[in-house]
Structure 1
């Protein structure tokens, strides 16, 4: 979505299975020859890991092993059955998305396509446009007058647009970053004490970043937004494919691992416990499965674990410890929590307007069950009776730590407040994940805090010897987006393929900064620091168009 600390105190017993500690404190296998050998160990089988492996394969490097903690591939793209057609027990279930749900941005004239959109088209993934304007807003008095909503939306959008222009000025002039909250306050947008303003801001900011404007970078939130919604397109396609969103990852994996994904290079249900990076000529990855240990000896490893896992002190042990510049970058970056709560009501007793996609709830407590999305809409799962609520940040953490029944009762109270004239039935089915405590995720996706500079971000990307990193959290432009995981997996796959194929320039190590600057010089916004330079032209175009309109 937790700080990364590594324990070491004298001689520590790591595991009893064929492992002992040397005086240097790193694990060594009793029989080094028993380690399975490969060129590249890809750690994690989500979008970044499968893309990295496929990129290696496409460039002639087929000697790799993919290690995955779960019994499935896909990572935080997680599709599960929910409810039943017709609302009848035993009926065919629907498929809902616990994690990634949208294709954010499609394609724009004269610019590259969003690769996730390309994969969706390649594999015939069913989706439909989410229309965020197709919404009704409710407060404690019931439905809010549409003119009031339009006026407040316009007021916020004007302030938000100005904060984006300010962020561009920061970028072009090397000015210090600040919180998005400070940027909005400078534009005279202050929602405190106004439930309608609070939910308007939540709908535009928290809903996207999984955290509040107070803890989000004005500069990087603008970069991420413009890199997706201006560089690709403003379209957001909600995936409603009965095969699940994870289909695009499965189908890509099949191209390198076979139709049944039964290739011996894919190790499911193997948890990575230790990484030994002490030898300049190799890297050893230690795994366990149901209490049985094993190891992989590789020339390189690509770690695609979520930022949330990297922040956990005991999730993976690194030998030697990660350098200070890497640990500080991991600790500085934030992990947000975005929790969807699914409810199926009797399909013949739907109490909301099925022609409306979003039902928005304005509460005095910001983010308290603020939005309900209608899957019974004609474009998604008509006749399903499915509604899902979304909470993020602190509210998501609260909900994930309480019992289902308590959450269900709170939701029913909110719905009764929103629809006081309706007799609201009990849901037939009810489910939500616990992303913040799931031990292979520890959160939903990353977010950049105020003051984190480009050099600090690059330290999150940079390799440590033979250990390389990839994931949405390492993407400068697309952190928090699935295309960020794709691009980073592709880039690291290309770089390691080049190294293994003897191309020292294409396989050059990534730059890191032992003492990163506290501001970002304009000259640093380049490919060497992981920036997709074409997106900067989009920012410049945005500035020129806004200036012309002014």
Structure 2
């Protein structure tokens, strides 16, 4: 897309105002957005559409998209972060609607035959009727938990809550043994990325995203990547050429290290020494990054804000992709998802082959979360490969030779200082008052990100709406109707 001369002049003038060395005061109502993930891009789009074009987006990474991020395994695109879209409910998911518009390739994830695909710790499949019995108990546990959650939520002004595990204890059906643990992990940890003893019942069940958008899940399997959804949005308002964003208001590889706010302005300092001035800032980094020491705040964040940030949870969800010289796992209808039951919760439990998504590529991946993710990120890839090979030999050996993978990709979301995890999760005991504080601006600093959208917490759609909501709150303030700002 070609840019008019007037736009170029405006962009250069605006850049002069904001970047280091400007001796002029910041332009009226100027805004800096930290982070170019879904929430940051939506915040910028919302400001743009409201007529506020004096903003700049500072992104620490070399790309936009944040935790919507593709990777490569021997030339094949895989999704290291967000991967599924949801459909079939009374409302439409914005991310899914955009995916359909740009014809993003997705495949329906069919979990229907999972009861025939659960492997014992020592090898061999469980009998189907045994697994079906375990699933019936899991369904009853979840129904009980959902009903209890609705009762707790109906209490006006109350903070009564319980963990998912606590509700299972009330129901007198606590998972035990490898099979029950594997099934329970599939029902809960596979979604929240943390164990049931941590996750809040009231703020997990019912899962509002699935209530609204549906439980039909679609696996993104497009060479362009899920991040194309974010690019599509960005291209609607940022100048670009041949799908490459050229707008000077987006600056990549700018890691923010300090946010200094005074009564009348905000000064941002990045790792490379650049200094930016604005009237307001929208911080869209993950709650995990806020919990780290990456960004320093001057003055320091007040105690109410620090408590709200540090008592929330940043979960870790890791997909380990492997490409083999040939397939040795079952393929065909009803074989896509497999479970490995182990006495240790979450020990290489959930497997998915990619024969439907990448036919003939001999690829499979395993999902781990929480402490297993942390453990794997801290050990050598060689040791992780050896552990995985031991599991695969138990699952599919039966005297057959199991080859080593040609390629293995292990995303490290927890170790990456720009993310510090995969997505947020509401822990038991975290109150609505604390969550309100988590969302609240502090002076001229506003906060966005999936962790600030309680309706779709942890999902791309949550990030989408959080960017809109936070930008609208700031716009309201810019029109001299500031509400909820605390110092």
Partner of 2:13: none
Residue of 2, 20, 23 corresponding to 1:33: 23
**C-alpha distance in 1, partners of 2:484/2:219?**
35
Deviation at 1:195, TM superposition (A): 0.4
Unaligned runs of 5+ in 2: 1-18
Partner of 1:282: 265
**C-alpha distance in 2, partners of 1:33/1:131?**
60
Partner of 1:176: 160
Residue of 34, 42, 54 corresponding to 2:45: 54
Partner of 1:375: 354
Superposition pairs of residues 411-426 of structure 1, within 5 angstroms: 411-421=388-398, 422-426=400-404
Superposition pairs of residues 164-203 of structure 1, within 5 angstroms: 164-173=146-155, 174=158, 176-192=160-176, 194-203=177-186
Alpha-carbon distance change, 175 to 474 in structure 1, aligned in 2, over 3 angstroms = closer
The answer to whether 1:262 aligns with 2:252 is: no
**C-alpha distance in 2, partners of 1:217/1:204?**
15
Partner of 2:282: 302
The answer to whether 1:76 aligns with 2:67 is: yes
**C-alpha distance in 2, partners of 1:44/1:404?**
30
Partner of 1:234: 215
**C-alpha distance in 1, partners of 2:305/2:218?**
35
**C-alpha distance in 2, partners of 1:221/1:450?**
10
Post-superposition Cα deviations, 1:55-74, rounded to whole Å, max 9, x if no partner, equal 11111111110000011111
Unaligned runs of 5+ in 1: 1-28, 84-92, 515-550
Partner of 1:525: none
Contact 1:342 1:432 in 2 (8 A): yes
Deviation at 1:399, TM superposition (A): 0.7
Partner of 1:474: 452
Superposition pairs of residues 436-475 of structure 1, within 5 angstroms: 436-475=414-453
Deviation at 1:434, TM superposition (A): 1.1
Superposition pairs of residues 327-342 of structure 1, within 5 angstroms: 327-342=306-321
Of 469-478 and 350-359, the range deviating more from structure 2: 350-359
Alpha-carbon distance change, 66 to 190 in structure 1, aligned in 2, over 3 angstroms = same
Q: Could you say what secondary structure the match of 2:190 adopts? A: helix
**C-alpha distance in 2, partners of 1:128/1:315?**
38
Deviation at 1:371, TM superposition (A): 1.2
Deviation at 1:477, TM superposition (A): 1.4
Post-superposition Cα deviations, 1:320-373, rounded to whole Å, max 9, x if no partner, equal 1101111000011011111110000124x4433343111100001111100111
Contact 1:142 1:420 in 2 (8 A): no
Partner of 1:44: 35
Residue of 225, 247, 252 corresponding to 1:244: 225
Partner of 1:160: 142
Partner of 2:104: 125
TM-score of the superposition, structure 1-length normalised? 0.80
Residue of 296, 319, 323 corresponding to 1:317: 296
Residue of 44, 55, 71 corresponding to 1:64: 55
The answer to whether 1:407 aligns with 2:387 is: no
**C-alpha distance in 1, partners of 2:148/2:125?**
35
Contact 1:273 1:317 in 2 (8 A): yes
Alpha-carbon distance change, 413 to 57 in structure 1, aligned in 2, over 3 angstroms = same
Post-superposition Cα deviations, 1:459-506, rounded to whole Å, max 9, x if no partner, equal 111000110000011111111111111110011122223333x2x45x
**C-alpha distance in 2, partners of 1:365/1:164?**
26
**C-alpha distance in 2, partners of 1:36/1:413?**
60
Deviation at 1:141, TM superposition (A): 3.7
Residue of 478, 485, 500 corresponding to 2:463: 485
**C-alpha distance in 1, partners of 2:485/2:362?**
52
**C-alpha distance in 1, partners of 2:216/2:437?**
32
**C-alpha distance in 2, partners of 1:410/1:34?**
60
**C-alpha distance in 2, partners of 1:350/1:382?**
14
Deviation at 1:189, TM superposition (A): 1.6
Residue of 509, 525, 542 corresponding to 2:483: 509
Partner of 1:365: 344
Deviation at 1:163, TM superposition (A): 0.6
Post-superposition Cα deviations, 1:10-65, rounded to whole Å, max 9, x if no partner, equal xxxxxxxxxxxxxxxxxxx9967278757110100001000111111111111110
**C-alpha distance in 2, partners of 1:403/1:179?**
34
**C-alpha distance in 1, partners of 2:20/2:212?**
53
**C-alpha distance in 1, partners of 2:338/2:106?**
20
**C-alpha distance in 2, partners of 1:423/1:189?**
40
